[in-house]
Structure 1
């Protein structure tokens, strides 16, 4: 595992200096095409239904040249409502998809289409890094849905590629990073509106999919689904079940990273951004029983991992945080932090999800995407009013996250959530899942990317790949 860390200095990793290195030279592969502000970008998509369709519906002003999806019948569902009537707002995308080249396997798409400038990757988590690396090695700009990668090693591999390819524009699909409210939250925290923050709580109502359950028996797959390609890099021999595809994969260990992977990219984003804590130094997870854990009562993962526990509480210690030691606690499965004594009765924690920052001069609370920030405490409003606007605003806010990527490709605007920002955030999230699988607290050295107190837990920073799908 040492090879993937050797080129990454502590300054690059913690400081986000991802665009300072030279261009990566890859024999036989193309470099990114120069695209002017007046040009339309040639965009492809991997995972064209579901969230991919939502992303691509905002990019119909560009040339949508190709799509790769394992189930075109599922993609077609994006264009109609529950009664089968066409959705007017999705018809421009349907027209674009009808004209685009279609593939089941994105590897074949990359091999045969040399006109792709940029690709949106909206697959299940276990495909993200493999698809992104293949694109980046071909000089293709990438927009990768959250979580950015399935493992820590994958994230660092993509960051290294981004460092060596500064002309490639990278974006993670955590759209709250482009929102006006979230950016104001960061300004207020950094501006001292609530004083020094030593404690943060983040929570979500996820999972909204099967989790904490035993693995179901395989059933016949839909005729339209290419199950072998859907499995892709996952080194398991699981047959199809609707509890995996198309939406329910997040809770199953070979395919997703649970609620923390789904919503941490939104909720953990703002405290990591605002407080600049660096890598966690210690992480511990407490959780309900693993799925299929009928005969194990001590909380240990079963030998044949199926679904993640239904709920967990993960505590992160940041011993090297910029403003001094910081504790951040994550809650999912509907669990929430206790109400602080100073919380007024009019300030209600949103059960769907939110973040609470506890400072020595007050508190700040907001919803999942940084929305609806609430200031709590004497004098906090006055101090907040004095904090200037210091972060650029993204055109159309959260709804402009995809077009921010396009404008950045054309050199019109700075990118919102590039891999230099997304990879450290993603790694923090992933370390919560690593501590869950380690079944004990882990101590982590972010500079070397190693767990220092439980040597065998380092295997969870990486994974095995199915033949033909290696990173």
Structure 2
């Protein structure tokens, strides 16, 4: 990272959260690295394990069947088996993956896998959000390279802990699963913005149709968990005892506060990525989130939120101010729940704003709009296309584009190329995302000192930079 982000890196080395209570625990550094990272030559195959082998984990691992898939950890192998049924399960990628899975060692608890399986070089982590940091820390302390699905971490403190671990062992290759960062379109967007195609950018709008899962609802009554599901391990670090319900596992967990980070956690890594990359704004200095009512809020008019945070609001708008942005102050607005900014004037005929998600950069000489993952950039304004065409390529392209994000990680492990989205970049991006959730929980604007990692105008809100952990699952 360059420019203003270097200030962030220097500052985080000096410490984190010099305040009392929960913040004091956040200042603690992780233990020394326990394992030794194996040197892997370009001619070698990497021994890969996966935590969360179905769903998104299967999608990731289907790109890695050229490697040695040595172990799987999953709380429900009947659910994993669903990855190989139907037409999609008969694709060559999935057939090869099933063969690899059939040969691999299997564990229902990833802690046991990491303790017992000694031939692992690298781990893909594709669990619900609340496990990401715990699993990544356990792997990294054993000297294992990690590919962690987005959001990288549930909280500010978790992200900074992982960044500290990565810096303690520079041999570790770390990657967040924001595959758009490896896409050709997204890289061209960054080149055009940095090259001045639309002039100086002071305003950005980002939107998504998420949630597409339950939100804005009170938590349901618990029911008996399926016999195939290890519910105790699935619950993991979450410090709630709600019991099982299918609205939590296997897909719908993202909208429930103890388990997920809502729409911002799901899509912020894909959408906020490009303004964060192109404009180098550093961490936000002021954040405010407006929202519909919380799930389970019986008095949404008092402005205080419910006594128990259950599911996130169905829709929200988050305003970010970046007072230390490289090119001068920047304002970014995030919309979810199907909310969108107004259609920009001058949009080319036949072009529409994708309701599924997108980004609109507003410059003083034009605008640039793209869809999720940086796809299909559209230039708006007189002279913009000509200026853009004159901007040379300056960023390397990743083989396979978005579909090559996983193998980029493998090639980086083998020393063949640079990693696309390492923790040095992904942690401050993730921190920006989850600060929107912090402002949501705080129910007021927050002023943020990124160097110190603390909220300065509402001290009680600093507790939302961390979370409480279930006994035995503490970080």
TM-score interval for Structure 1 and Structure 2 normalised by the shorter chain: over 0.9
- Conserved in 1, the CA contact under 8 Å of 2:12 and 2:451? no
1:300: Cα distance to partner? Answer: 2.5
Q: How does 1:373-392 map to 2 (within 5 A)?
A: 373-392=377-396
Distance, in Å, in 1 between the alignment partners of 2:344 and 2:97 is 47
State the partner residue of 2:9. Answer: 12
1:350 is paired with a residue whose SS is coil
Match of 1:110 in 2: 114
Q: TM-score, normalised by structure 2?
A: 0.93
- Correspondence for 1:198 among 197, 202, 208: 202
Tell me the CA shift for residue 304 of structure 1: 1.2
* 8 Å Cα contact 1:14/1:279 also seen in 2: no
Structural mapping, 1:157-176, within 5 Å: 157-176=161-180
Deviations 1:105-148 (A, max 9, x none): 11100110111000000000000000000000000000000000
Are the counterparts in 2 of residues 162 and 168 from structure 1 also a CA contact under 8 Å? yes
Aligned to 1:282: 286
Number of corresponding residues: 455
Unaligned runs of 5+ in 2: 14-29
Do 1:289 and 1:299's aligned partners in 2 also have CA atoms closer than 8 Å?
no
Give CA deviations for 1:270-318 in whole Å, capped at 9, x if unaligned: 0000000001000000000000113332343211111000000000000
What secondary structure sits across from 2:202 in the alignment? strand
Corresponding position of 1:76: 81
Matches within 5 A, 1:27-106: 29-81=34-86, 86-106=90-110
Question: Does the 8 Å CA contact 1:81/1:87 hold for their aligned counterparts?
Answer: no
Partner of 1:259: 263
Structure 1 residue 11: Cα displacement: 5.0
- Are the counterparts in 1 of residues 194 and 278 from structure 2 also a CA contact under 8 Å? yes
**TM-score, structure 1 normalization:** 0.94
Give the secondary-structure state (helix, strand or coil) at the position aligned to 2:448.
strand
Q: Which runs of 5+ in 1 are unaligned?
A: 1-7, 17-23
Distance 1:422 1:51, change over 3 A: same
Matched, 1:26 2:32: yes
Q: How big is each residue's C-alpha offset from its partner over 1:212-240, in whole Å with a ceiling of 9 and x where there is no partner?
A: 00100011111000000000000000110
**Larger CA deviation: 165-174 vs 296-305:** 296-305
* Alignment root-mean-square deviation, CA: 1.7
Aligned twin of 1:298: 302
Q: 1:245 aligns with which of 237, 246, 249?
A: 249
What is the alpha-carbon distance in structure 2 between the residues aligned to residue 150 and residue 26 of structure 1? 22
Which segment is superposed worse, 294-303 or 283-292?
294-303
Query: C-alpha deviations, 1:11-61, integer Å up to 9, x for none?
Result: 525799xxxxxxx9937x221000000000000000000000000000000
Deviation at 1:465, TM superposition (A): 0.6
SS at the partner of 1:424?
A: helix
